[in-house]
Amino acid sequence: MTAVVYVSDPIHPDVLNKVQSICTLRFGFGLSKVNYLDVADTVDAVILRGETFTSEMIARSPRLKIIARHGVGTDNVDLQAASEHGVWVTSTPGANSNAVAEHVFALLFSSARKLSSAQRAVVAGKWSEDKENLIGFELSGRTLGLIGFGSIGRRVAQMAVGLSMKVLVFDPYASAVDVEAAGAASVELDDLLRVCDVVSLHLPLLASTRHLLGRDQIALMKPSALVINTSRGGLIDEDALLAALDSGAIAGAALDVLEAENVDMRNPLPHSTLAAAEREGLTVTPHIAGQTIEAFLEAGNLAWESVQDVLSGRPPKRTVNARVLQPAHMPS
């Protein structure tokens, strides 16, 4: 019997062709889009990007063996339900590290040089009238603070050092040797917030990290400081961030993620006050930091590799729930 694979969102066409050459596909997007629950009883594997995979979806999938995340975060998967039903969950760590790191600097350069404001001025027919309001700052010599020092944080540090920036890191789990090797220095969170010109977040959303940047933490920052978040929206208290922007307590924020993605990952805009807020110094992009051709190909190949392993009876690599998978469901 041919295995059925559900693909929630677009993936690299080369990967899609590989999957389609071996399996029957069901799509959560495009002209052939289906509601997952309508086909749940036929699905053997899922390649998951933006859709939220609930306990109900897992419970109604008797043939489901693996949910292969096309990405790093797994907060859109009910890991407990997957484990209880003997469903592997995997991710693709490192596949988009360079893409996300480059997006950090795309946001940083845009904010530092006020590119969005400059574009709006040109569209409004103002060429020179607003130039006094479009004075930016150079990154060379500035201090970048990284909260989190995983593969993406390390890549950001490398790029920052190349731009002659000073880099400070807060990550209780990072090796001092690794931090120093990247040309950075480890500090406590409050110290980082007080001295940095730019603060960039690179850590998962957990109970312990939710609203890591809240009102008290933002109050420590320089009035000239920028905040960049390409990780998860819930890391920042967005009400506190908006208040800081409105009062001039900080200079700007550039976000690729929103808290409301926890409500609807595919379309958080109706649930977000921040996304609709047109404020000077605020830039919001729609969770595209990892979206490059190269990252899509790598993540797609890794996800498909995990699916192939499981469909062939092998335990997959890059598992998220291997330690908590119920023993009765573990492959023999």
Asked if 158 and 184 touch (Cβ cutoff 8 Å), the reply is no
For every residue of 41-64, DSSP letters joined together read GG-SEEEESSS-B-HHHHHT-TT-
Element of type H or E holding 255: strand 252-255
Best CA proximity match to 89, nearest among 117, 111, 61, 116: 61
CB atoms within 10 A of CB 239: 14
For every residue of 279-326, DSSP letters joined together read -TTEEE--S-TT--HHHHHHHHHHHHHHHHHHHTTPPPSSBSSTTTS-
Q: What residues does 167 pair with on adjacent strands?
A: 144
Q: Which residues are known catalytic residues?
A: 232, 261, 287
Determine the Cα angle at 328 with ends 327 and 332, to 5°.
85
What interhelical angle do 97-112 and 115-123 show, nearest 10? 60
Cα separations in angstroms, 264 against 16, 218, 269: 25, 26, 9
